[in-house]
């Protein structure tokens, strides 16, 4: 049985106890799940294909929809693009149409 004991550090009490630190301690070399986010638009056939591909491969994702979860201005600011979908993995933009 493992016990997770954090070092006592001044400042932010959550600096050491974030989820990634605890996961690493408990599971060591286990592969971390991908953090996948899609910026999508209703009725977009490319968005549907991207979602289907991720589902087919068993990859969990969060799909955010234009004008419901984010604005067009946010799309340009985050992805420096104006096409759909835009795909982010672990916070890094990997592409879009």
35-92 pLDDT tens trace? 999 999 999 999 999 999 999 999 999 999 999 998 989 888 888 888 899 999 998 9
Residue 49 confidence (pLDDT):
96
Which region holds residue 95: left if phi is over 0, alpha if psi is between -120 and 50, else beta?
left
Is it the case that residue 17 has pLDDT exceeding 70? Answer: no
Superfamily designation of domain 36-96: Glutaredoxin (3.40.30.10)
pTM over 0.85: no
Q: Provide the residue ranges of all domains of the chain, joining segments of one domain with +.
A: 36-96
CA distance 55 to 63: 12
Q: Are 36 and 89 in contact (CB under 8 A)?
A: yes
Separation between Cα atoms, residue 9 and residue 71, nearest integer Å: 40
How many whole angstroms separate alpha carbon 22 and alpha carbon 42?
37
């Amino acid at each position: 049985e493992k016990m997770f004991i954090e070092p006592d550090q001044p400042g932010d009490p959550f600096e050491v106890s974030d989820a990634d630190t605890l996961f690493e301690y408990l599971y060591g070399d286990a592969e971390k799940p991908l953090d996948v986010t899609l910026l999508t638009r209703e009725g977009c056939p490319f968005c549907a294909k991207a979602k289907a591909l991720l589902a087919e491969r068993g990859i969990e994702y969060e799909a955010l929809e234009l004008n419901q979860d984010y604005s067009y201005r946010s799309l340009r600011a985050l992805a420096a693009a104006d096409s759909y979908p835009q795909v982010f993995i672990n916070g890094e933009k990997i592409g879009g149409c």
